[in-house]
Amino acid sequence: MDKVVNIRINGRHIRARAGQTVMEAAKAAGIDIPSLCHHPAVKPIGACRICVVEIERQRGLQTACTFPVTEGMRVETESPKVVEERKFILEMLFSEGNHYCPFCESSGDCELQALAYRYGLDHWIYPNPGESKPMDGTREYFIMDHNRCILCRRCIRACSELAANNTLGVKFRGAKTVICADGGLPFGSSSCVSCGTCLQICPTGALIDRVSAYAGRESQVERTKSVCLFCSVGCGSEIITRAGRILRVEGEWEEHNNGVLCAKGRFQPFKEERLRIESPLVRKDGRLQPASWEEALDTLAQAIRKSPNKKVGAWTTCRTLNLTLSEFVAVFMGKVGANIGVLELTLARFKLPMGGALNDLLSADTILVTGADPLVDHPVIGYHIKRACMNGGRLIIVSDNHNSMKRFAAQTFPLNEMGKAVKMCQESAMPVVLYGEETPPDQAEKLVALQKKAHFIPLFPESNGFHAKALGLRANFSPGQMETVYLLLEDTTLSEEKIKQARGAKFLAVHATFHSPLTEVADVVLPALLWYEHEGSLYNLEGKKVAVRQAVSLAEGLIPENEVLTQLAARL
């Protein structure tokens, strides 16, 4: 139980927790102290000074974001002296760069602009700067305009504290100070991993998303709290849409990913170039032709009915939501008695504990990674591990292959020396074990010794791998021996090898979002939803059930996969 301290803010009596800053205490009491450089997700640095308040018995003004509350403290947050200083700071900021709002993408959503409104800055006092700073457009997904940068350094702290990438910093001094990457490289050639956390945390229009720029202001858009489906971390996200058009994705600050997403989840979906399947297709006269749902489902049902149970095969991606997975099992195993399975590995062969949380990583003193390369496949996990390393945590990698996390590791062992790694974990206070599919079973067994001590995080390849495993689904892909095959791909793609195998089936139904070489050879093609069209839930790798929300209404003719399966079941 935290100690309570009594303070007064603007004369109001407030009970705050010891250790809280004035800003936090005020916020908890519903008192708004403006901030610019401060963001709850990163550590306060007291740089912008906009949150200055008057504190009794303190010389000058103090920054609310850094000043701890003490018993009996009296604070004034909007006294004339404070307001005068804030206006001054705003005037200074507006004199420093190109803050000519009508031309800025962030106008309307800009924290600087909002403060200028709040404090009534109605004209320029200082002339606009003559010289302009360069822009940097070398990154693929977003642009840096130094002229709109207020040097709040949120991006730097997001980069180092959240993404643990330490790419960003400042160079030069005084009025020449600028944000830089790796001491002065173009951002695009730097160590930046394009996680976009800086973009998301920037309070002004200095960082601009190439896709969503100028496409809509906060008041014009809708936000849908959802979950990223591009790996099993299941990062909390918000999908931003305007009039049914998706603009961008942001990480959810309050979730286990702490607002961080990776380039895979944040930007790459917007680079989608595959052709969307807009209606069911049925092969007629040797050619795939648009058909009604009824016709397509009838054709599929007929094919299933015609084949013996043992000759019906159904496989689904683990990216599907819980309801679809259950429906898939119910229809194809329960009703048809078919061969069913999943398209990706599910760590099914491991008898290891699960349930470790991302937060466990941050407090871990030893982290063992084996059979996986989190920075590549589960980047946000990778960032969390790096954060832990920066705070003194020790990373041990057990792998025979190249691993992009090796340079952060305190120790690297070949797989056959798993025992040594296990011993190190046993000797530490708070170990966390992350294991992936590439761990050989005999080595994995050695990890069992840690099951009482360590938190275990399974690194499923796909977003709902946890549930797929729980449902007992296995990656037993064998369509070649089947007469009728149903593949639920959604927006995943199959390897050429698998496509070759699938071609062996007499009748192939593909339920997918995009056209692909596989759909071309299918007999029935059913359109599936896109990632932001789903509504439902899944289990992330922590084993936590999370809600996936539909961000746009479905186009005519689209039916969620679980309903499609239900309708199919009705025909069987």
Partner 1 sequence: MAEPFYRANVLVCGGTGCTASDSLEVIAGMNKEIARRGLEKEVRVVPTGCRGFCAMGPIMVIYPEGIFYCQVQPRDVQTIVEETLVKGRVVGRLTYKAPETYKELPRYQDIPFYSKQVRITLRNCGIIDPEKIDEYIVRGGYEGLSKALFDLTQEEVIQEVKQSGLRGRGGAGFSTGTKWEFTFRAPGDVKYVVCNADEGDPGAFMDRSLLEGDPHSLIEGMTICGYAIGAKEGYIYCRAEYPLAIKRLQVAIAQAEEYGLLGDNILNTDFSFHLHIKEGAGAFVCGEETALLASIEGRRGEPRPRPPFPAASGLWGKPTNLNNVKSYANIPQIIVNGSNWFNNIGTRRSPGTAIFALTGKVNNTGLVEVPMGITLGEIIFDIGGGIPKDKRFKAVQTGGPLGGCIPAQHLNVGVDFDSLQEVGAVMGSGGMIVVDEDTCMVEFSKFFLKFAQAESCGKCIPCRVGGKRMLEILTRISEGEGRLEDLDTIRTIAKGMETGSLCALGQLTPGPVMSALKYFESEFLTHILDQECPAGACKALVRARCTNACPAQVDVPSYISLIAQGKYAEGLEIHRERNPFALVCGRVCPAFCEQKCRRGDIDDPVSIRLAKRHMADHEMENPWTPAKIEDPKKEKVAVVGAGPAGLTAALRLAQRGYPVTIFDKLPVAGGMMAVGIPEYRLPRQILNLEIEAIKRAGVEIRLGQEMGKDFTVDGLMDKDGYKAVILAIGAHKGRKMGIPGEDLPGVYQGVEFLKNAALGKAPDLKGKSVAVVGGGAVAIDAARTGLRLGAKKVHILYRRTLQDMPAWKEEIEEAFREGIQFHFLTNPVGILGPDQVSGVECHLQRLGEFDSGGRRRPIPIEATEFEVPEFILDAEIFIAAIGQETDLEGLQKDTKIEVERDSTLKVSPNLMTSRTGVFAAGDVTLGPATVVEAVDQGNKVAVAVASYLKGQPLERVKFESPVGEVPQLYALEDYAEAKRPVVRRLSAARSVTCFEEVEAGFDEHTAREECKRCLRCDLEWLQSMGLQSQEMKVQSA
Selected from 6, 128, 132, 177, the binder of partner 1 by CB under 8 A is 177
Selected from 16, 53, 73, 93, the binder of partner 1 by CB under 8 A is 93
Selected from 67, 187, 408, 413, the binder of partner 1 by CB under 8 A is 67
Q: Is the dihedral of CA 210, 212, 215, 219 positive or negative?
A: negative
Q: Say if strands 431-435 and 366-370 run parallel, antiparallel, or are unpaired.
A: parallel
Candidates 93-101, 211-219, 294-302, 539-547; binding stretch for partner 1 (CB under 8 A): 93-101
* 167 lies in the site for partner 1, by CB under 8 A: no
* 60 lies in the site for partner 1, by CB under 8 A: yes
* 441 lies in the site for partner 1, by CB under 8 A: no
**Count of residues in contact with partner 1, rule CB under 8 A:** 36
* 117 lies in the site for partner 1, by CB under 8 A: no
Selected from 55, 115, 151, 425, the binder of partner 1 by CB under 8 A is 151
Distance in angstroms (rounded) separating the CA atoms of residues 175 and 149:
12
Distance in angstroms (rounded) separating the CA atoms of residues 9 and 554:
49
* 170 lies in the site for partner 1, by CB under 8 A: yes
Selected from 52, 149, 168, 247, the binder of partner 1 by CB under 8 A is 52
Selected from 85, 238, 255, 490, the binder of partner 1 by CB under 8 A is 85
Candidates 55-63, 280-288, 392-400, 404-412; binding stretch for partner 1 (CB under 8 A): 55-63
Buried residues in 154-167 as b, exposed as e (16+ CB within 10 A): bbbbbbbbbbbbeb
Distance in angstroms (rounded) separating the CA atoms of residues 240 and 398:
40
Distance in angstroms (rounded) separating the CA atoms of residues 109 and 331:
48
Compute the chain's Rg from CA coordinates: 27
- Shortest Cβ 98–partner 1 spacing (Å): 14
* 204 lies in the site for partner 1, by CB under 8 A: no
- Collapse the DSSP code of 226 into the 3-class scheme (helix H, G, I; strand E, B; otherwise coil) and give the result: strand
Nearest to partner 1 of 176, 287 (CB atom):
176
Nearest to partner 1 of 134, 183 (CB atom):
183
- Shortest Cβ 47–partner 1 spacing (Å): 5
Distance in angstroms (rounded) separating the CA atoms of residues 389 and 404:
15
To the nearest 10 degrees (0 to 180), the angle between helices 293-306 and 561-571 is 60
| 242 contacts: CB under 8 Å, gap ≥ 6 | 215, 216, 220, 221, 222
- Shortest Cβ 471–partner 1 spacing (Å): 49
- Shortest Cβ 200–partner 1 spacing (Å): 23
- Collapse the DSSP code of 198 into the 3-class scheme (helix H, G, I; strand E, B; otherwise coil) and give the result: helix
Q: Site mask, partner 1, residues 121-140, x = CB under 8 A? A: ----xx--------------
Selected from 14, 22, 33, 89, the binder of partner 1 by CB under 8 A is 89
Amino acid identity for residue 345 in this structure: L
Nearest to partner 1 of 84, 520 (CB atom):
84
Q: Is the separation of the CB atoms in 215 and 207 below 8 Å?
A: no
* 49 lies in the site for partner 1, by CB under 8 A: yes
- Shortest Cβ 433–partner 1 spacing (Å): 30
**Which two three-digit tokens encode residue 226?**
């959802």
Buried residues in 225-263 as b, exposed as e (16+ CB within 10 A): ebbbbbbbbbbbbbbbbeeeebbbbbbbbebbbbbbbbb
Q: Which residues in this chain contact partner 1 in the complex, by CB under 8 A?
A: 45-50, 52, 60-63, 66-68, 81, 84-85, 88-89, 92-93, 95-96, 125-126, 150-151, 153, 169-170, 172-177
